[in-house]
Amino acid sequence: MMASAPFLPIVSDAIAAQRLSPSALAYFGDAVYELFIRFIFLTPPQRINAYHHQVVAHVRAESQARYMDILWPHCTAAELTIFRQGRNAAADGPKRVPAKIYRQATGFEALLGYLYLTDPQRLQDVLALLEQHIRAEVAAAESL
């Protein structure tokens, strides 16, 4: 489980999150989230193609929007403000995804980017909650 060994590097004070646009936070948060998902599915060893399909299934906008629904009740007022700013800054996104879902996913990414830059411990807590949910989803799917 992630709580035992953080996977994120130590953050420098070089970037002030408050000076970044919500779109920039989402851009950065997307990378943080993908690294987190890759970390989760790194074990057990498997073929790269299978690994890739698992990761892609969880970094899709639809999954990110669903995970924000899970996080919503656990977020502080300030975190929800960052989410809303990211959501409202989002463009319509790709045609395969409804605009509402894409915007929610962008808000999710903005929140993760913001937490990475401002409160790495809180980010670890949020990601641990997501990891529990994702592992439970995977286990349920495998038992079918």
pLDDT at position 96 is 84
pLDDT at position 8 is 57
How many Å apart are CA 144 and CA 135, to the nearest integer?
15
What is the average pLDDT score of the chain? 87
In a domain, 49, yes or no: yes
pLDDT at position 13 is 58
- How far does the chain reach from its first CA to its final CA, in angstroms? 24
30 is known as an active-site residue: yes
| Rounded (10°) angle between helices 61-71 and 48-59 | 60
Which residues constitute the domain of residue 57? 19-142
Could you read off the pLDDT of 124-139 as tens digits, one per residue?
Answer: 999 999 999 999 998 8
Nearest to 24 by CA among 130, 122, 116: 116
In a domain, 14, yes or no: no
| Residues 6+ positions from 2 with CB-CB distance below 8 Å | 39, 40, 124, 127, 128, 131
What are the average pLDDT values for consecutive 10-residue runs of the chain, which has 144 residues?
Answer: 50 69 94 94 85 91 94 95 93 80 95 93 94 92 83
How many Å apart are CA 83 and CA 106, to the nearest integer?
8
pLDDT at position 4 is 44
Q: Which of 30, 69, 92, 125 is catalytic?
A: 30
In a domain, 12, yes or no: no
In a domain, 48, yes or no: yes
- Total domains in the fold of the chain: 1
pLDDT at position 108 is 97
Query: For position 50, which CATH number holds?
Result: 1.10.1520.10
Q: Which residue, chain included where needed, has tokens 């800054």?
A: 89
What is the pTM (predicted TM-score) of this model?
A: 0.86
In a domain, 7, yes or no: no
